[in-house]
A = this chain, B = another copy of it.
Amino acid sequence: MNRSKDGEPNRSETRGSDFLQLDPADAPPGGLADWLAGRLRAAVADGRLPVGTRLPATRVLAAELRVSRGAVTDAYQRLADEGHLAGRGRAGTVVVAAPLDPAPAPRPERTTRPTRATTTSPPAPAPPAPFPKNPGADIFDVLRDLPARIDLSPGLPDLAAFPRAAWHRAERTVLRDLPAAGLGYGDPRGTPALRTAVAAWLARYRGIRTDPAGIVVVAGTAQALGLVARVLTREGIDRIAVEDPGSLGVRQHLAHWGMGTPPVPVDTAGIRVDRLRATGAPAVLLTPAHQFPTGAVLGGDRRRDLTRWAAAGGLVIEDDYDAEHRYDRPPVPALRSLLPDRAFYLGSVSKLLAPALRTGWILPPPPHLDAVIAEKRFADLGNAALPQLVLAELMNSGEMERILRLLRRRHRRRRDTMIQAIAEHLPTAAVHGAAAGLHLTITFPGHPPGPHDTAFHDTALAAAALEHGVKTHPLSWHTQRPHPPGLVLGYAAVPTSAITDAIAALAQALHHIDTQPATARAASNSASHRSR
């Protein structure tokens, strides 16, 4: 141990610079500028100083190295003479070219992930469609990066409506008023300001009465699923029943955390509680306000039956992912308001403002609260403070209500446009779940359901749609048991003109599927598998 205690601190000034770890003690006597030029040249050559990097000001670097400014200026000048550096006025001195013997070129962004479709083909021809029947853990990353003329992937609100000016104004207030200690480590549950604002929001809009102390702010529903899964794992639970059809993403997250996900059928009144009971699962995850992807609302009888199931020991995880978006039906209070002691409530701003905010909340049942807080602490010590405080400002000022009204009008128009275009271009399709939310689901009653080899498979339809420029989700991704083929279509993030185009393109894709022999389809499908 470094026992430097001697009543007198070491007063020698800082030697050397963190910039390239330069230590002038390494320079030969009288050869300072030479040495420095050599070090800089090497750093440009081996990529530590890539083209575009701004060098420290000569004054600053000279002070750090405790050498004359002239030596630094001299070294910079030599590299400028060689063509490696250039003065840019107020922008300082920047690297403009590497020496002739350059380091290996940096790897492209995706080289490390060879399964990514974007690395396998040049940008010009449309890449083969990655619509495997059993998608892997990175399927949504792969899909997001695929170019498409129109993106109907479900799950996004109209991102163009994000209140950039209001966000920036609120951030000014936050930065003005925040005490310095608010920039340190904080409560793992999140800032009291946001928890208070969320409690008020949930009381007003979701019928939930809760104290801010019972809310844990999290990094979106994705993180919430992991926290809840780990809490339940520590309690000995290894299965969480899920709706079928139901979100593939949710199922992947639960499976990642070691949870079994027995499927429970869904009908027009939501999850079949009798079938849930039959699974024997100790917990269930469901989307009662607007079932994903079918759009069913959990009916009154089912709610009562689910309450009985929970009273007998079952735990409910309520994923209230898009409940605020509602068009043609009365509002439905959250299940949590009926089951405060048996339901984990999960909400987020991903469908209200933007997924990129990565902000959501969990209301655990009180007996599980401390365990959820502990998991959040060990996950990341709590969400970042500034965005939480900005969000609280937006919620308290009425801005969130304003956005929600704007979104609802806009989404409804887009929804209506999509329904009309389907009626026109896809007259054999059945539309499901359009009374609320950000997406709808279509199926094809004209095509009999059956084993994959005899009827068309919706992954083939999604692949054909992508070849026609439209990105969608095959319904089968969101099912565990056999189900008629279909597509899940997001409309909220797409302008109306593009929606009409997209549905017309889907009709062409369906025609393509209908007229192509099954054997050719199978060959084309396996070709796209190989190319991944």
Contacts and interface: CB of A to CB of B under 8 A. Distances in A.
Interface in A11-34: 11-23, 25
Report how many copies the assembly holds. Answer: 2
A377 to B, nearest CB: 7
B168 A9 contact: no
Given A2-B268, A155-B185, A186-B356, 17 more contacts: A1-B268, A2-B295, A4-B435, A10-B328, A11-B416, A14-B408, A43-B203, A48-B203, A49-B204, A56-B401, A107-B211, A141-B377, A171-B171, A183-B354, A183-B355, A185-B355, A219-B381
A62 interface: no
26 contacts: A2-B297, A4-B435, A5-B423, A8-B423, A9-B416, A10-B434, A14-B329, A14-B408, A18-B204, A21-B332, A22-B331, A53-B200, A56-B401, A109-B213, A112-B214, A137-B378, A141-B377, A162-B180, A183-B354, A184-B356, A185-B356, A226-B379, A357-B386, A358-B380, A384-B384, A387-B387
Chain B CB count within 10 A is highest, among A1, A167, A204, for A1
A331 B14 CA distance: 9
Q: Lowest 5 A-B CB distances belong to which pairs?
A: A356-B385, A183-B354, A219-B380, A48-B203, A9-B419
A189 B414 CA distance: 32
A250 to B, nearest CB: 12
Interface stretch (A70-78, A274-282, A425-433, A517-525): A425-433
Contact of A431 (B4, B181, B408): B4
B188 A159 contact: no
Given A12-B328, A144-B185, A432-B1, A380 B220 contact: yes
Contacts of A398: 54, 92
A452 interface: no
Nearest to A375: B256
Contacts of A92: 398
Given A1-B432, A204-B49, A213-B107, A381 B354 contact: no
Nearest to A245: B1
Contacts of A186: 144, 356
A517 B25 CA distance: 53
A257 interface: yes
Contacts of A140: 185
A330 B16 contact: yes
A355 to B, nearest CB: 5
A213 B110 contact: yes
A193 interface: no
In this complex, the interface size class of chain A, counting residues with CB under 8 Å from chain B, is 35 or more
Given A211-B106, A330-B25, A369-B112, A355 B2 contact: no
A68 interface: no
A221 to B, nearest CB: 9
A332 B398 CA distance: 52
A172 interface: yes
Nearest to A109: B213
A213 B18 contact: no
A175 interface: yes
Given A213-B112, A398-B54, A423-B8, A253 B1 contact: no
A447 interface: no
A141 B187 contact: yes
B172 A168 contact: yes
Contacts of A268: 1-3
Contacts of A192: 109
B183 A356 contact: yes
Given A106-B211, A167-B175, A377-B141, A50 B200 contact: yes
A245 to B, nearest CB: 9
Chain B CB count within 10 A is highest, among A296, A382, A405, for A382
A486 to B, nearest CB: 10
Contacts of A112: 213-214, 366, 369-370
